[in-house]
Structure 1
């Protein structure tokens, strides 16, 4: 397989915990969110984040460079990582990936950056860099994803003290629909076996069943020691809040509580929520029908 395994999922799809679990397999290396497929060069990536008021660049990328260069993520090593990137702003994104993959070899990198699926252009850039990579389409129920997106937006607004009435209004259900459609349309173009789709709820509810299946699909070890390692995402060097300049890189809630919590994750009835819940007067009948049919294709009742 390729030296990179790519997880495609929108934000709030259990991607931090699931990707970190997978990345704890002895033959894999779980990266945090690198956000590299937003541009063709390091310069374009940094400028993309500057327009989003993150002049320091992607925190997950800074933490990764600090970790592979210094074996530690501190304010000092992160600053050195940013200076190192500044000196290589002309590098193509593919060259940076190849550099990092060489550093972690013989382990295979696990990439999960939710921003990749926001546009088809970003997904195509990922494919152009790694056409032989394996791709995992990770899903979450639209209702619980919607709730989580709303919580994330409100938390960011409070943290940045942005006026809630300002800015673009995010429609979580249409965002869920459009991003998963982007992923599905892309995966349908791949040869049989190069991609799989899996529900995040299934992985977290029954890890002993689904983690071996993922490892087997990737051609990796499926022994009890390897699977047990995958059940401890808290052991990842990125499963905690990073230092100043690079505090992110994964979901905030996950970084504060990264251990796997056993138990069955409930999947609400989408039809009931659309017909009887608060969404009844928000979602029109035409989109509701499209949403239900599409959710069924992804395995949700």
Structure 2
């Protein structure tokens, strides 16, 4: 299992970097981990705050008591409603695993001064339900150095995880068209394409002008959903201005989609082909 993630992680809130979570597997029953290792993908009991693109460190309980794997969350955590098939409250899809050549024992971590005070080293129970990820707990930097020393190839995996540009697609639309664009949003997500949607990302108090402009400047593609409502929405025109500023001389960035028969601004028809939803 020494390969790059098979699916690309997705959106991340502007308020937080991608997170690093600690998951656990029963060391006495490794069947689930063996499946995840062999097939490269499986559904796991998920921390409620895990989002697509987060990094997951897998700890094997006794008799192993060690860290042996890194994974990437390839879905957001979702409720399971505790059916017979899913005995947990939440589940997440994991994939893109990396197996350390040399595992890191719990005793090794306890003896490392960089991790002094880490509550997990005192009590391994309940790690998956802790509110803070490893970065918020202040231990990820030290833990990462230990991982990279133990297996230098892990640095490439972690650097690749950190460097992915996010999100991939910025979806611009008018609020009254929300129901119409959700089908497009879900279709993009099902095909492994990262999507930035304002209703999922912005919260009260955000400096949305600054955030949106930065997202348009860093995304890989800009999809604008044209309609009569869109033409009346002044802020949509501002988003398009920012996208056009970036797209000068760049192909494959701007993708206008008509939701209905409507006028199309000349500045768009001069730039790119217009698609119909």
TM-score by length of 1: 0.29
> Which structure is higher in helix share?
1
Larger Rg over CA atoms: 2
TM-score by length of 2: 0.31
> Which structure is higher in strand share?
2
Taking CA–CA contacts closer than 8 Å with sequence separation of 6 or more, which of the two structures ends up with the larger relative contact order? 1
